[in-house]
Structure 1
Amino acid sequence: MTTYIPSITIPSQVFLNPSISILVPVVLGTSIGYATGRAGTEKTYLRLKQPPLRPPPWLFGPVWTVLYGLMGYAAYRATFKGLSPFSSPDTIRTTKHTMTLYTIQLGLNLVWMPLFFAAKLPALATVDIVALLGVNAYLTYLWHPIDAVAAYCQIPYLGWLSFATYLCAGVGYLNNWDLHARDAKKPGKKAVDDSKI
């Protein structure tokens, strides 16, 4: 089991307000998407060799918005029920642990896009997303006895993370774990500059 670490954990006031709990991951995820360069990431995505079942680039924004909202709602429900004055000391302790885990998973989630698209490090991005999947599976397991609805809200997220892990590892493998090579200058062609797309 993890430990509650207040210094790195989102404050409980955020978790206990349903609107803020939902908006925090949505706003942070959207901000990372725009900061990474939405148009450039789409062009990079389309240039890469892809495994089968690759979704169209336009699908990622709506899917992640829904998933971020669901994860925020799940965090609110689990924290609200788990920190209730009627909860047992063990449930309160576990809930505090899950608040730290949730914060860690949100950080892992937010760092993936810069690792993959900005730094072009698919191997590190794959390690990140595998860790993200593992942390969320454990978080779902811990949330289930506290609030089953919170745990069920995680199921679409876990499903999408599993699919995204397949895509990330597949792209890395098919492109020899080097996304820089896709931008390299080819004989007779100009190198593509994502910042100008």
Structure 2
Amino acid sequence: MVLKAVSKPTLEKNGYAVHVECKVAIMRQLRHPHTISLYEVLATRTKIYFVMEFAVRGELFHVVAVEAVYHHQKYFWQLLSSMRHCPSHGVYHRDLKLDNIHFDQDMNLNVSDFGLSALRSRIQHDGMLHNLCGTPAYVAPEILARKGYDGAIMDVWSCDIVLFVLNAGYLPFNDYNVTILYRKIKNLVTRLLDTNPETRIVMNKNYYMLC
């Protein structure tokens, strides 16, 4: 287990108190073998303490950075198992990335950090979520369109990005300039979904350059 302490005055000053309450509510709903567990929440006059499961083997990000990743299928199925569990309990992660995936003692994958997650109650009258969130290299194109999105389907896109990295060792879209990064994503998706077969992207040796 690990104990995480947060300052109450800091939360209140920055307007994060409600945000933390929402995160706690979400994590208490999610009891799953491949999701980091929140065991207890304790409070004093000035601090809030979170008693959580400890990810002994660290982040997937660090594993990919230093060595080739084996057992891709095992890790991906564990990830999908966790992500299928979330919407069945009215939760959408919305910030799935290598940094938020950890390993336990037996090198089983666990999803963590539900700080940007949304509950089903946040869905608007059109059946969609609308607030912009996520990490640029992992965010789904529909988020950038600002027309509403399905939280569960958004998480599928992020899962696919993780799968790509597990196999390739690098992100399919990457750039220090976020504007250019989004332009790359939009360009690839637009060309893949071109309704005109004459101008649709073809599978040639230069295909990878689009990313």
Q: Does TM, normalized by the shorter one, top 0.5?
A: no
Bigger RCO (CA 8 Å, 6+ sep): 1
Higher helix share: 1
Q: Please state which structure has a larger fraction of its residues in strand.
A: 2
